[in-house]
Amino acid sequence: MKNAKLVRLIPSLLAVSAGAALLGAFAPTTIAGPPDTPGVKPSPVIAAMQTELDRSFKTLSAQEIPAYFIGYTLTDTQRADVSGSNGALLNSSEARNRWLQVAVRTGDYDKDNTHKVGERQLPNGGPGTVAPVDDDAEVLRRAIWLETDDQYRAAAEALIKIKTGREVKVDTAAAQAPDFSKEQPHKSFGPLVSFTLDRGPWEQKVRAYTKAFRESPAILNSIVTFSAQAQNSFQVNTEGTQLQFGQIRYRLELFIQGKADDGMNIERYYNFDWVDPKDAPNDKAVATASAQLRKEMEGLVKAPINEPTVGPAMLTGRAAAVFFHEVFGHRAEGHRQKDITEGQTFAAKVGEEIFPEFLSVVDDTTRKKLGNEDLLGYYQFDDEGVPAQKVTLVEHGVLKNFEMSRSPLVGFPHSNGHGRRQLGATPVSRQGNLIVESTKMVTNAELRKKLVELIKQQGKPYGLLIDDIAGGFTFTGRGQPQAFQVQPLVVFKVFADGRPDELVRGVDIVGTPLAALKKIVATGDTPEVFNGYCGAESGSVPVSAASPAILMSELEVQKKETDTDRPPILPPPAHDTRSAGAAAQASAVSGGLQ
């Protein structure tokens, strides 16, 4: 599909998206990175990378088509996974690997081999290659040497084609910005991280957690996954940057599936994220979450389908967080303002009011927690060697900034630390910790009362209370509807006449951003966090979104896609009373013959 740009947010790994002067006139802003840890020395990996970088750049910068920038990133990953299903162990494994990525740029900061002419952009930057896990300098340098040679040749060829293509193509005004920003180099050496894990207890836990789900005949399948990941990153580049930092993450995911009588698939998720082993959820916390998932599943498989409507709605904090991530966050990513194939919804709206004035939005990747909850979007440096920063995107309703990588915009000449990627992809500007703040807050109970008032004022029989959400996606490409779709999991009808709320299913939130964002009339006073993984051009990256509950005067919902498959003809074996009766009778007969 031409120009389709689909970006998707998922909660779980189980489910695997005003110009001023010329940019060159701005000097790089000095940003303080995380302080070095006293006594921590650079790994031998840094020395090996730097030695080979110096050797390569001396020669490649003197070629007929010179390299003006080379960057190396080596990522060392230790990962353990334990998963179970329906009371049995599915997998238990642990592995360690290293991945090398080399960025070579030919030309200059203004126009280089990554330049896009019209709608055409040549591939740039390979996916990288496996690197040895030993710290043997000669072996590491050999791997770096071969990958550097491959990437230089590709970059040189791309620049030749771009210069030829520019003779018959005209750049847009947005594309007049430089291709790469000049940034201050940073040197920071943090401690290397690792974990020691006995997988045995987690193997027993995933068996027990998934076995408990078998008690419900509404649950057709259950999967619980525990993962631990320690990742160390080493970065060097020809600007002088040398970085060494690590991060550990732990995650426990609960996932259950059911099916309504009409064939609609019902899924419920819950995940725990933590970085300190002592913060791991105990069995009681998991049991509480599991019981809630079971209760919701048993209600949803029997719930009626909601008809498409437009009317008042209240989104609880997690649902609101995903709403902002999809509706606003992706359209505030810097590279989308520069690309002619993008919808560029907010490109020319800097300084304009795009939200109600009581709302502000920041993307703060320096923040580790919100309240007691760890934020998945925290990091120390981005994947282009720029320190993480707090960026004010919207201030009292007015658009102020974008999430920026090292691909500059007119008026925005520098990165603010949002160049991100999954291993094997090329960094682009991405969200991190998107946090919504409000000055028009009431308690959630009062917000619900306001929802009922709106229902009455508009003469509607009911409004919607959206209580939990799976994720969502949005189209940002030009030539596609500038639309979003958010996928709620738990939705209630709230009636104007005071009847009890009614659980419904099959609801998808849809709309267009410029219209939807203006419909927010008030917020709750308690922010909630959604931790998930966002898939877009540069792969899947961990993100967080946080928001208080929001009240919308108007929200459009449509019917969720369904399936033609019906539920299984027989109930689960443990819940087949006919089979149980027959077995008991056979046992009695057998006993009489002995």
**In the chain, where are the structural domains located?**
38-300, 309-559
Instruction: Kindly report the average pLDDT of the chain as a whole number.
Output: 88
Tokens of 404: 């920026």
Burial of 191 from C-beta contacts in 10 A (0-12 / 13-18 / 19+): middle
> Helix, strand or coil for residue 203?
helix
Task: Over range 50-77, report the average pLDDT.
Answer: 98
Pairing of strands 428-429, 419-420: antiparallel
Residue 551 in contact with residue 535, Cβ under 8 Å?
Answer: no
Between CA 211 and CA 553 the distance in angstroms is: 43
Instruction: Say whether domain 38-300 belongs to CATH 3.40.50.300.
Output: no
**H/E segment holding residue 223:** strand 221-237
Could you tell me the pLDDT band of residue 561, with boundaries at 50, 70 and 90? confident
Is 60 exceeded by the pLDDT of residue 443? yes
Return the residue matching tokens 């790469």: 180
CA nearest to 61, candidates 1, 124, 21, 104: 104
Specify the DSSP class assigned to residue 249: E
Which residue type, as a one-letter code, is found at position 218? A
What pairs with residue 550 in β-bridges?
315, 523
Looking at residue 92, what is its pLDDT?
Answer: 98
CA distance to 210, 270, 295, 366, 471, per residue, from 290 (Å): 9, 8, 9, 32, 19
Give pTM, 2 decimals. 0.89
Between CA 232 and CA 228 the distance in angstroms is: 14
Is 60 exceeded by the pLDDT of residue 593? no
CA 100, distance to chain mean position in Å, is: 23
Between CA 366 and CA 387 the distance in angstroms is: 9
Query: How does pLDDT run across 396-433, given as a tens digit for each residue?
Result: 999 999 999 999 999 999 999 999 999 999 999 999 99
Of these ranges, 9-18, 37-46, 537-546, the one predicted with the greatest mean pLDDT is 537-546
What pairs with residue 216 in β-bridges?
none
Between CA 160 and CA 593 the distance in angstroms is: 90
282 phi, psi to nearest 5 deg:
-85, 175
Query: How does pLDDT run across 123-181, given as a tens digit for each residue?
Result: 667 899 999 999 999 999 999 999 999 999 999 999 999 888 755 455 555 667 999 99
Looking at residue 169, what is its pLDDT?
Answer: 53
Burial of 64 from C-beta contacts in 10 A (0-12 / 13-18 / 19+): exposed
CA distance to 61, 179, 536, per residue, from 66 (Å): 4, 16, 31
Return the residue matching tokens 């807050």: 441
Sequential DSSP letters for 262-296: TS-EEEEEEEEEESSGGGPPPHHHHHHHHHHHHHH
